[in-house]
Structure 1
């Protein structure tokens, strides 16, 4: 049976000896998961945005970017869905790293997803 890590693309993100454990986990684990789940994050957010603002797709890029920021900062249910989608792709071993610092990792997850969504809106 394939492991969850088999689904992830191996990214060539350099991790040096002075990289913190938190940064290494973000680079080696979280970023590949976010890349794998990117299409799903985008679809979920598009659905969310249109449900909140029916003419979302006709907004200016600046207003879309602002909406992304505000939504992921203030809508805790939405944040929890994105975090759950990401954490659900962790292995049991990776959970051992995630759990002690989950608040730090959750902030990083939301920050990275926000940046991903914003960069896709600018295209």
Structure 2
């Protein structure tokens, strides 16, 4: 099962200087790219259900609002993290759990950036 999970991920050729950055570039970024469409759907469905509006003209302010929404809403945050963590292999999960807080921050920041970038395109 682990090989099939890895085989469907996009291949990104990124360099890394630390173990955390290597995990981010080799595991997190490909999974985020793979899950890109569903991340947006989950995020905007949550906004719809909560009757929240997060549209602003300024891109920086829009990104701030998205990040605030993700960080303030535990249910949404956990759903988004689950979309990523659920794609880990057992070995990747063991690496993740060693620095869970740091990796969660990285994941959520990258998710916020992806949502912002996708909305501006």
Q: CA separation in 1, counterparts of 2:62 and 2:49?
A: 14
Structure 2: gaps spanning 5 or more residues: none
| CA 61–53 in structure 1, closer or farther in 2 if over 3 Å, else same | farther
Larger radius of gyration: 1
**Structure 1 position 20 matched with structure 2 position 21:** no
| CA 45–61 in structure 1, closer or farther in 2 if over 3 Å, else same | farther
Decide whether the 8 Å contact of 2:9 with 2:34 is kept in 1.
yes
Structure 1: gaps spanning 5 or more residues: none
The match for 1:99 among 97, 100, 106 is 97
Q: List structure 1 segments (4+ residues) > 3 angstroms apart after TM superposition.
A: 59-67
Q: CA separation in 1, counterparts of 2:57 and 2:119?
A: 7
Q: CA deviation at 1:72?
A: 0.8
Q: CA separation in 2, counterparts of 1:3 and 1:41?
A: 21
Secondary structure in 1 aligned to 2:88?
coil
Matched with 2:56 is 60
Q: CA deviation at 1:61?
A: 3.7
Task: State the TM-score, normalizing by the size of structure 1.
Answer: 0.86
